[in-house]
Amino acid sequence: MLLKLLPLLSTTVLYALYYLISALKFDVQILPASVPYDYLLQLVAAYVLYALSKRVWIFLVIHALLMGLLYVGNAVKISFFGGPIMPDDIFALQSLLLILDGWRFFAAAIPLAAIASLILFNFSMRHWSAYLASLVVILLGITVVYKPDAILGPLDGYFGNSVWDQRSNYVWRGATLYTLLENARYFAAADVIPDADMAQQAADKLLAAGRFGFLPVTTLPASLAVVQQKEAVDTAFTPRNIHIVLLESFWDPNELKKAKYKQNPLSPEFRELWKSAGYSHALAPVFGGFTANSEFEVLCGFPVVKNAVKFERQLLNDVPCLPHLLAEKGYRTIASHPNVPVFWNRANAYKRMGFQTYWSLQDFVQDDMNREFMSDSTLYRQVLEKISGSLDAKQPVLDYIVTYFGHWNYPLSESRPDKISSPSTVEEVPAYANTIYYKSRELMTFIHELRKRDPEGIIVVFGDHLPFLGENFAGYVESGILTANRSDFTPTMFKTYVSTPMLIIDGKRGPLKIGSLPLFQVPKLLLNLLNFNDPSIMDYTAPLPNMRVRPLPGLHFNVSADGTVDMCKEPPYSETCQLSARWLDDVSIVSNDLFMGRQFTRPKYIPEKQPEPI
| Tens digits of residue pLDDT in 559-585 | 998 889 999 998 889 999 999 999 999
| Best-predicted range by mean pLDDT (26-35, 66-75, 445-454) | 445-454
What's the pLDDT score for residue 370?
A: 95
Which region among 61-65, 156-160, 529-533, 604-608 has the lowest average model confidence (pLDDT)? 604-608
Give the pLDDT band of residue 218 (cuts 50, 70, 90).
Answer: very low
Does residue 531 have a pLDDT over 50? yes
What's the pLDDT score for residue 129?
A: 81
pLDDT tens readout for residues 479-516: 999 999 988 999 999 999 999 999 999 999 999 999 99
Strand partners, 559: 548, 565
**Residue scoring higher pLDDT (300 or 611):** 300
Helix axis angle for 35-51 and 6-26, nearest 10°, is 130
CA distance 77 to 75: 5
What's the pLDDT score for residue 328?
A: 95
For residues 593 and 587, the answer to whether their CB atoms sit within 8 Å is no
**Residue scoring higher pLDDT (306 or 441):** 441
Question: What average pLDDT is seen over the chain?
Answer: 88
For residues 372 and 101, the answer to whether their CB atoms sit within 8 Å is yes
pLDDT tens readout for residues 7-17: 999 999 999 99
CA distance 447 to 459: 8
Does residue 232 have a pLDDT over 50? no
The boundaries of every CATH 3.40.720.10 domain in the chain are: 238-302+322-526
DSSP string over 165-217 = -HHHHHHHH-HHHHHHHHHHHHHHTPPP---HHHHHHHHHHHHHHHTT-SS-G
Give the pLDDT mean for 234-260: 94
Does residue 219 have a pLDDT over 70? no
- What's the N-to-C CA distance of the chain in angstroms? 100
Does residue 234 have a pLDDT over 60? no
Cα 125 to Cα 10, 133, 134, 463, distances in angstroms: 22, 10, 9, 54
What's the pLDDT score for residue 1?
A: 54
What are the percentages of helix, strand and coil residues in the chain, rounded to 5?
A: 55, 10, 35
For residues 562 and 270, the answer to whether their CB atoms sit within 8 Å is no
What's the pLDDT score for residue 3?
A: 72
Amino acid identity at 462: F
Containing H/E element for 148?
Answer: none
Per CATH, the homologous superfamily of domain 238-302+322-526 is Alkaline Phosphatase, subunit A (3.40.720.10)
DSSP string over 227-255 = HHHHHHH--S-----EEEEEETT---GGG
SS3 labels along 402-450: ECCCCCCCCCCCCCCCCCCCCCCCCCHHHHHHHHHHHHHHHHHHHHHHH
Amino acid identity at 574: S
Does residue 52 have a pLDDT over 90? no
What's the pLDDT score for residue 548?
A: 96
Give the pLDDT mean for 4-25: 92
**Residue 91 has what DSSP assignment?**
T
What's the pLDDT score for residue 215?
A: 37
Give the pLDDT band of residue 211 (cuts 50, 70, 90).
Answer: low
Give the pLDDT mean for 586-611: 83
Give the pLDDT band of residue 124 (cuts 50, 70, 90).
Answer: confident
What's the pLDDT score for residue 57?
A: 84
Give the pLDDT mean for 14-26: 93
Give the pLDDT mean for 433-461: 97
Give the pLDDT mean for 236-263: 96
Which region among 247-261, 304-318, 343-357, 539-553 has the lowest average model confidence (pLDDT)? 304-318
| Percentage of residues in the chain having pLDDT higher than 70 | 90
What's the pLDDT score for residue 92?
A: 64
Does residue 216 have a pLDDT over 70? no
What's the pLDDT score for residue 191?
A: 76
CA distance 348 to 363: 17
Which region among 41-45, 140-144, 249-253, 309-313 has the lowest average model confidence (pLDDT)? 309-313
- What is the rounded (10 degree) CA torsion for 566, 569, 574, 577? 70
What's the pLDDT score for residue 102?
A: 62
DSSP string over 276-307 = HTTS-EEE-S-SSS-HHHHHHHHHH-----SS
Give the pLDDT mean for 529-552: 94
Strand partners, 569: none
What's the pLDDT score for residue 465?
A: 97
Does residue 441 have a pLDDT over 90? yes
| Percentage of residues in the chain having pLDDT higher than 90 | 64
Does residue 229 have a pLDDT over 70? no
Which region among 48-62, 63-77, 83-97, 243-257 has the lowest average model confidence (pLDDT)? 83-97
| Best-predicted range by mean pLDDT (49-58, 80-89, 339-348, 589-598) | 589-598
